[in-house]
């Protein structure tokens, strides 16, 4: 066992801290993933599910709503900060530091090493690297599962400085020894630092079987400071870069299906990585910019009526301002102000004469629209809101995807306006993606929307 320390400095940020690096015997063959599986299917766990360590049987509808909006607001702030000052070294699971009860929405159970050590990580389309906390810890936060100790695993190998991953400053760099190390800084100054290595991952499949994936490149975090991640072990990045799992698998394909996020007993959310991903439905072009997936939103309809929105509202300009990000880390949806306000007016015209408006509990100035009532009772027959994307793909939001029950007798539209400072960046969150299988084909740069009950995807 050898321990090295190095200083990490980040542009426009004063950050000095020691990196604790753990080395194991180097196996050159472990740098490249041995034959990846044809298809990896694993369940996703919503953070409010009974299968989640965050589950609180005493939490009220108001508690869930408050957690969703607070975490979404923080995530939006993070996305904005990433866009304004981008670097792969600032990957994050979400934005500013959050209390444990407002953690990332979608979680994945996996095990790492041999013998396998269970881990709980956040699925994030806005991050690139898989990383978990590792022993020995110079600084680690409390997590739900045991902290991985690479020295006890027979399948762990560190990545040396001559690795191609260490030649790329966006992934890792050479430490004082022969080890390839990494450092990532969160939007609030939280950091994770450690060693890049390869290890065997084991996933529980959708049919309760197991599948193992050898020689996955990951970050072994030995110093993790001030993290608000809470009970999770780290992050599973699905972002558009060659160190993320879809690229390591060689297929550049993945899909996820999100069902009813309000039902804590719903057990069919799932993630598929590899050639078996469900690439079905209508497609729209997807582009990548500063580590995020962008889609072209051309308009919005309320029922049969097209909302009067300037067609340039959702476009990203030549400086990278604006545009529409599809995101797994935000629950709520944010629309550019010139798109949000016309939609909000149309909704108010339909509901305003029937139900009593209620002032939102959070006065955020983003046009938060709330009414007295119960969704399932008072919005029967409310028309579907449809997002129309380039290429003819549509995303339909029924009442449970457009609104969220905020209390026993209050519901709110789960769409907010972006702030003026951000100049119109829009984010499509997972509530809007409910009841859809969302597929990413990064070979042809296509995104597919298929409305489906996720239970039907079970083999």
CA separation for the pair 277, 262 (Å, rounded): 25
CA separation for the pair 446, 212 (Å, rounded): 28
Whether 5 and 179 have beta carbons less than 8 Å apart is answered as no
Which residue's structure tokens are 């969220």? 404
Characterize the bridge pairing of strands 324-326 and 410-413.
Answer: unpaired
Q: Which residues contact 98 (CB under 8 A, 6 or more apart)?
A: 70, 71, 74, 228, 230
Residue 71 parent element (H or E): helix 61-84
CA separation for the pair 235, 227 (Å, rounded): 12
Characterize the bridge pairing of strands 415-417 and 333-335.
Answer: parallel
Residue 78 parent element (H or E): helix 61-84
Whether 336 and 301 have beta carbons less than 8 Å apart is answered as no
Give the three-class secondary structure for 26: coil
Kindly name the residue from 179, 327, 406, 422 that is annotated as catalytic.
Answer: 327
Stated length of the chain: 459
- Token pair, residue 147, equals 């902290």
Alpha helices in 315-454 (DSSP H): 337-351, 375-378, 399-402
- How far is the CA of 58 from the CAs of 54, 62, 208, 314, 435, in angstroms? 12, 11, 29, 40, 26
Q: Which residues contact 209 (CB under 8 A, 6 or more apart)?
A: none
**HEC readout, 168-197:** CCCCCEECCCCEEEEEEECCCCCEEEEEEE
Kindly name the residue from 48, 91, 92, 124 that is annotated as catalytic.
Answer: 124
Is 327 designated active site?
Answer: yes
Is 459 designated active site?
Answer: no
> What residues are labeled active site?
124, 327
């Amino acid at each position: 066992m050898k321990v090295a320390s190095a200083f990490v400095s980040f542009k426009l940020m004063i950050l000095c801290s020691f990196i604790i690096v753990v080395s194991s015997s180097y196996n050159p063959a472990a740098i490249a993933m041995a034959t990846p599986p044809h298809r990896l299917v694993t369940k996703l766990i919503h953070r409010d599910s009974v299968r989640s360590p965050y589950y609180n049987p005493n939490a009220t509808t108001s508690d869930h709503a408050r957690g969703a909006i607070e975490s979404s607001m923080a995530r939006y702030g993070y996305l904005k900060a990433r866009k304004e000052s981008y670097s792969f070294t600032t990957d994050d699971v979400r934005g500013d530091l959050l209390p444990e009860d407002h953690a990332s929405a979608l979680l994945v159970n996996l095990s790492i090493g041999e013998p396998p050590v269970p881990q709980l990580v956040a699925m994030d389309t806005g991050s690139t690297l898989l990383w978990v906390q590792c022993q020995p810890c110079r600084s680690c936060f409390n997590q739900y599962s045991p902290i991985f100790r690479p020295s006890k695993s027979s399948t762990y190998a560190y990545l040396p400085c001559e690795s191609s991953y260490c030649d790329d400053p966006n992934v890792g760099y050479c430490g004082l020894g022969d080890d390839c190390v990494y450092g990532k800084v969160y939007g609030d100054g939280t950091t994770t630092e450690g060693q890049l290595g390869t290890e065997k991952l084991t996933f529980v499949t959708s049919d309760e079987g197991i599948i193992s994936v050898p020689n996955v490149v990951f970050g072994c975090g030995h110093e993790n400071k001030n993290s608000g991640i809470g009970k999770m072990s780290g992050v599973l990045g699905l972002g558009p870069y060659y160190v993320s799992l879809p690229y390591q698998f060689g297929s550049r394909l993945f899909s996820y299906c999100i069902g009813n996020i309000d039902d804590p007993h719903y057990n069919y959310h799932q993630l598929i990585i590899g050639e078996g991903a469900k690439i079905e439905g209508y497609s729209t072009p997807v582009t990548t910019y500063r580590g995020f997936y962008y889609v072209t939103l051309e308009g919005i309809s309320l029922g049969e009526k097209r909302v009067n929105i300037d067609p340039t509202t959702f476009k990203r300009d030549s400086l990278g301002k604006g545009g529409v990000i599809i995101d797994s880390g935000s629950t709520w949806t944010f629309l550019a102000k010139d798109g949000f306000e016309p939609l909000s007016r149309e909704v108010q015209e339909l509901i305003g004469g029937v139900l009593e408006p209620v002032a939102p509990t959070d006065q955020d100035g983003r046009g938060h629209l709330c009414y007295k009532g119960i969704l399932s009772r008072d919005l029967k027959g409310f028309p579907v809101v449809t997002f129309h994307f380039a290429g003819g793909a549509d995303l339909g939001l029924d009442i449970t995807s457009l609104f969220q029950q905020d209390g026993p007798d209050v519901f709110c539209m789960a769409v907010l306006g972006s702030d003026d400072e951000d100049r119109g960046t829009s984010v499509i969150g997972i509530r809007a993606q409910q009841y859809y299988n969302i597929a990413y084909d990064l070979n042809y740069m296509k995104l597919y929307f298929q409305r489906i009950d996720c239970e039907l995807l079970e083999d």
